[in-house]
Amino acid sequence: MMKKILSVMFCMLIIAMTAMPAFADEATVINEVRLSITEPAVGETPDKNIIPAEPDKYTVQYGYWLKRLYSNDPVEVFEAGYEYALVFYLYPKDGYKFAATEKDKNGTAFSTTVVYMNDQPTEYCIYESETKLGRAYVVALAAEEEKPVSFFQRVINAIKGFFAKIAAFFKKLFGIK
């Protein structure tokens, strides 16, 4: 009788041990990530301090600014008239993972985890998996506005334009190139 009890207990122990890895591997899925950073401004140096809204769930690494997406031009000071990309990577902490990676119709992998920077969704994906997300946050700085032109300057510009048209007419008339 004792052998039967021991063998039943041994079988139960084996079954419990085989079921444990399935439960131990369960990680909480991160479906949304919210980050913030100081927005770029003309003449300012780039802020690389990306602040996660939930630092207990994921970490942010390698935050760097580039002049234009997919370039190797690092940014030292923001200038007007350029598009800048903040490239960064996210890593889940123990017990967490990013939403499953799926493939689009072209076979390109993407994660269904949505990443927001300053409440704007990041549209450019660099790397996707359940253990690492690479994203780029793109910001365009408008070209500097032209200063208002005085009435006197507009008259001079009109006269210059008028004489340029007359010169073009005579060049065409006499075949001068």
pLDDT in tens, 122-161: 877 777 777 787 777 777 777 665 555 677 777 777 787 7
Going from N- to C-terminal start, the domains of the chain cover 24-140, 147-177
* pLDDT at 60 > cutoff 80: yes
Q: What is the pTM of this model?
A: 0.61
Identify which has the larger pLDDT, 9 or 112. Answer: 112
DSSP-assigned states of every residue in the chain = -HHHHHHHHHHHHHHHHHHHHHHHT--EEE-EEEEE-PPP-TTPPPP---EES-TTTEEEEEEEEEESTT---B-SS--TT-EEEEEEEEEEPTTEEEPPEEE-TT--EEES-EEEETTEE--EEEEE-SS-EEEEEEEEPPPPPPPPPPHHHHHHHHHHHHHHHHHHHHHHHHT--
* pLDDT at 50 > cutoff 50: yes
**Least confident stretch, 76-80, 85-89, 163-167:** 163-167
Q: Which amino acid is at 47?
A: D
Distance CA 120, CA 86 (A): 13
